Amino acid sequence: MRFHRLLQQAMPLIVLAGLGCRNPEIVPVSPDTYILFREDHAGIFGSFSSLKAGVIRDANRFAEKQGKVAIPISTREKPIGHGPAQWASFEYQFRVVDKDDPEVRRTSIVPRPDLVIEKSEKLNVDIVAKDKTEKPKDLYTELSKLDELRKKGIITDAEFETQKKKILQGN
């Protein structure tokens, strides 16, 4: 009787433990797209890179059994966390295509964001081009700066007259 009561109390924990250790297999999303998700319950003794490699290897084997190739679409990964039940996990979304499909040559894995926000709206934008025409120089300012250099002794009177002629001829 006592054993029976202990078993009844422990049963929910046994069921939860069994469910927590399950790793779903390859799940179809569309006729040629699949997701494979795994958790590593080995804790600090597990290997995140082995988890990822195993998932990708299983996806490739799944495609090979069909005489096709697995093309990665996206991944979502979570390294082991701190605390109880913080398992490392890896989700791999892939397409199964024929070996001669052009997409086989240009594959890349794109990490999926946890949250995607899409906003579509029509914008009317008035674009104003920057005026690139050369503006006439301000003769007064240039001559004043040149005269200031002469007064400070930075340039000679002869240099001042030469530069003054260039400025006046340029406009």
Tell me, yes or no, whether 76 lies in a domain.
Answer: yes
Residue 134 domain-assigned? no
- In tens, the pLDDT along 118-144 reads 777 777 777 777 766 666 668 888 899
The range of the structural domain enclosing residue 67 comes to: 22-111
pTM of the model: 0.48
Same domain, 100 and 39: yes
Average pLDDT, the chain: 78
pLDDT (tens digit per residue) in 11-47:
444 433 443 444 468 999 888 999 999 988 877 777 8
- 72 and 92 Cβ atoms separated by less than 8 Å: yes
- Of residues 7 and 155, which shows the higher confidence score? 155
Domain count, the chain: 2
Question: Are both 68 and 32 inside the same structural domain?
Answer: yes
Residues 85 and 166 in one domain: no
> Residues 29, 104: one domain?
yes
Position 165 in a domain: yes
- The residues with which 105 forms a beta bridge, in sequence order, are none
Q: Give percent above pLDDT 70 in the chain.
A: 73
Examine residue 27 and state whether it is found in any structural domain, yes or no. Answer: yes
- DSSP string covering 35-103, please? EEEEEETTGGGS-HHHHHHHHHHHHHHHHHHTT-EEEEEEEEEE---SSTT--EEEEEEEEEE-TT-GG
**143 lies in the same domain as 107:** no
54 lies in the same domain as 91 = yes
Confidence of residue 57 (pLDDT cuts 50, 70, 90): very high
Looking at 92, 111, 130, the residue that finishes a domain is 111
